[in-house]
Amino acid sequence: MNNPHAHIRSLPPEGAGASLGAARREAPNDVDLRLDHDTPAFVANGASWYEASARQRVDGLLDAGSFSEFLGPAERVTSPHLPLFDLPQQFDDGMVVGHGRLDGQPVFVAAQEGRFMGGAFGEVHGAKLTGLLRAARETGKPVLILFDTGGVRLQEANAGELAIAEIMRALVEARAAGVPVIGLIGGRAGCYGGGGLLAACCSALAVSEQGRISVSGPEVIETNRGVEEFDAKDRALIWRTMGGKHRRLIGGADRYVADTPDAFRAAALELIGRAPTFDAAMLRAEQARLEARVERFGACKDALDVWRALGASAPEAIPGMPDDAFAALADQLQESPHDAR
What is the reported pTM? Answer: 0.86
Structure confidence at residue 10 (pLDDT):
44
Per-residue pLDDT tens listing for the chain (341 residues): 455 555 454 443 333 333 333 333 333 334 444 444 455 555 555 689 999 999 999 999 999 999 999 988 888 888 788 888 888 888 888 999 999 999 999 999 999 999 988 888 999 999 999 999 999 999 999 999 999 999 998 888 889 999 999 999 999 999 999 999 999 999 999 999 999 999 999 999 999 999 999 999 999 999 999 999 999 999 999 999 999 999 999 989 999 999 999 999 999 999 999 999 899 988 898 898 889 899 999 999 999 999 999 999 999 999 999 999 999 999 999 776 666 65
Tell me the sheet residues that pair with 213: 191
> Using an 8 Å Cβ cutoff, are 116 and 124 in contact?
no
* C-alpha–C-alpha distance, residues 266 and 257, integer Å: 9
Q: Residue ranges per domain, the chain?
A: 4-213+252-277
Structural fold of domain 4-213+252-277? 2-enoyl-CoA Hydratase; Chain A, domain 1 (3.90.226)
Structure confidence at residue 269 (pLDDT):
98
Structure confidence at residue 143 (pLDDT):
99
Structure confidence at residue 41 (pLDDT):
53
Q: What is the CA radius of gyration of the chain?
A: 19
